[in-house]
Amino acid sequence: MKPSLLLCLLLLCVSAFAQAPADESASKFTRQSLGSNGREIFSAQADKPNILFILADDLGYADVGFNGSKDITTPALDHLAENGMIFASGYVAHPVCGPSRTALMTGRLPHRFGAQDNIPPGHPEFGITLSETFLSNVLRDSGYFTGMIGKWHLGSAPEYQPNQRGFDEFYGFLGSGHGYFVTRYELKFETEKKAGTAYSDSNAAPLLRNGVEVKENNYLTDGFTREAVRFIDSAAKKEQPFFLYLAYNAPHAPMEARKEDLEKFSHIADRKRRVYAAMVYAVDRGVAKIVETLQTTGQFDNTLILFFSDNGGAIPTGASNAPLKAGKRDVYEGGVRVPMMMHWPAQVKAGQRFEHPVTSLEFYPTLARLAGASIPAGKLLDGKDIWADVMAGRNPHTDEMIFAMSHRHGYTDASGRRGKWKAVKAYQRPWMLYNLERDIGETHNVSQQHPDMLKKWSATSRTGRTPTRCPCGCTTPRTRKTGKATPSPTLTTPSN
């Protein structure tokens, strides 16, 4: 079988179990009335969980205490993990920032609608298609107070910004990264503006509050923590539950740490790793403040906190994904299997470790159901509600594939995990097969010992739907004939 065809079939395989709407009948919440804005308001607000995503950026699998880190200390995160559930096999849908966040907000594989790579900086006309209803829209429409703080990276034109995508409040930046000592970047941005080279998603652009430029004087991670505390304080005064998407850009480049945090890691000889560690620790300091705020406002017990990274650690910046192979932008485990845990005292018992795979694609339908929210009719999803399986300790994916793709210059990497088996097509090499149960580091290719395995998978995929064209939109003949790129990311523009 041609690799490109198998790649398409892998994608079809996930289609077979996709598009499951949330099971509203399972909701224990009852709709009561419409609010002044037409949104449904629930009477049992106290029972509806607050939802807090805390996203790290390019954080290595091994770089949190709850995953065994010895040199980087993360006491606040570890405390939450010890009192909640660690996902040992938590996957994101893509090994790069923008597409991974797209999957989180849309509940879909980003390749399905042309969002398979990052939005290139300096292209404010691009953004995630407005035809996709974000999770934030669904939660806000069901009565949640919603906030987005930190790195957006899903489009910088006004129609793509957080306030237009379901968030009541936004504080942060629109691009792929940002300098941490913000005031030091002000001159750079002014210089760029004078030269006509400034753009709104530059890593030197001013921070925004609800679309308005504001001055940020703090170290950026601390600034985002301050805003998260402010949002949680404000949410406590409302009748509504809240959804806060707190997307720290740490420890993504540029690698800049506070002196006080660096001193804490003087035992790390490697300068690059020391800066990285200090940046991770700044996030942990923030988490401690956020937890304290939740506690003092009486919201801690009924807040579902989900902490994870948008993709695997970027090894050149000092990250470690050990014992996983490779890192950011790779479809090996190190690119897509990330540090992940949840904490929710009201529903999740302390001290649990969930070994079965879960993916960020499942957060959309699972959280919508927990929130008693209605997903619009016709909304397509690539994940399913896994809450019952997770609570029962069952594998939610006994016969389903965990899928990843990564577009390179001129070719595409792809992988699929089913149970203990993982197939990988990377760097234009032949398909390889690994047994993750025995070989978590993907070091022993066993495709020769199991020649039937990849064939079986592709046969299984044929039992799924048969679309008229490959859903990933790849142009196999052209790619094969010319040996040139997989088409550049076809980022979408508004349809109206």
State the residues that interact with Ca ion by CB under 5 A: 57-58, 97, 310-311
Residue 57 or 78: the one with the smaller Cβ distance to Ca ion is 57
Residue number, 308 or 403, with CB nearest to Ca ion: 308
Q: Of the candidates 309, 367, 478, which has an alpha carbon nearest to the alpha carbon of residue 134?
A: 367
**Count of other CB atoms within 10 angstroms of residue 251:** 32
Between 90 and 143, CB nearer to Ca ion: 90
Cβ nearer to Ca ion, comparing 310 with 385: 310
| Catalytic one of 153, 252, 397, 407 | 153
Shortest distance, position 73 Cβ to Ca ion, whole Å: 22
Residue 71 backbone zone (phi > 0: left; psi -120 to 50: alpha; other: beta): alpha
Give me the least distance between CB of 4 and Ca ion, in Å please: 27
Q: What minimum distance in Å lies between the beta carbon of 115 and Ca ion?
A: 15
Catalytic site includes residue 79? no
Count the alpha carbons within 13 Å of 227 in the hemisphere toward its beta carbon: 27
- What does the alpha-carbon distance between residue 135 and residue 146 come to, in Å, rounded to a whole number? 10
Question: Minimum distance between the CB of residue 197 and Ca ion, rounded to whole angstroms?
Answer: 25
Minimal distance, residue 102 CB to Ca ion, in Å: 12
* Cis-peptide, bond into residue 323, ω within 30° of zero: yes
CB-based contacts of 16: which residues, under 8 Å, 6+ apart? 461, 463, 464, 465
Smallest distance from the beta carbon of 64 to Ca ion, in angstroms?
15
User: At residue 466, what is the residue type?
Assistant: T
Q: Name the residue nearer to Ca ion (CB basis): 18 or 119.
A: 119
Q: Give least dist CB 54 to Ca ion, A.
A: 14
In the bound state, the residue with its beta carbon closest to Ca ion is 97
Q: Which is nearer to Ca ion, 90 or 372 (CB)?
A: 90
- Answer positive or negative: Cα dihedral of 53, 54, 55, 61: negative
Q: Which is nearer to Ca ion, 327 or 365 (CB)?
A: 327
Phi, psi of 421 (to 5 degrees): -95, 145
* Beta carbons of 267 and 70 less than 8 angstroms apart: no
Does residue 356 carry a catalytic annotation?
no
CA of residue 29 relative to chain centroid, distance: 27
Q: Which of 13, 97, 472, 474 is catalytic?
A: 97
* CB closer to Ca ion, 141 vs 310: 310
- Nearest approach, Cβ of residue 272 and Ca ion (Å): 17
Just list the catalytic residues. Answer: 97, 153
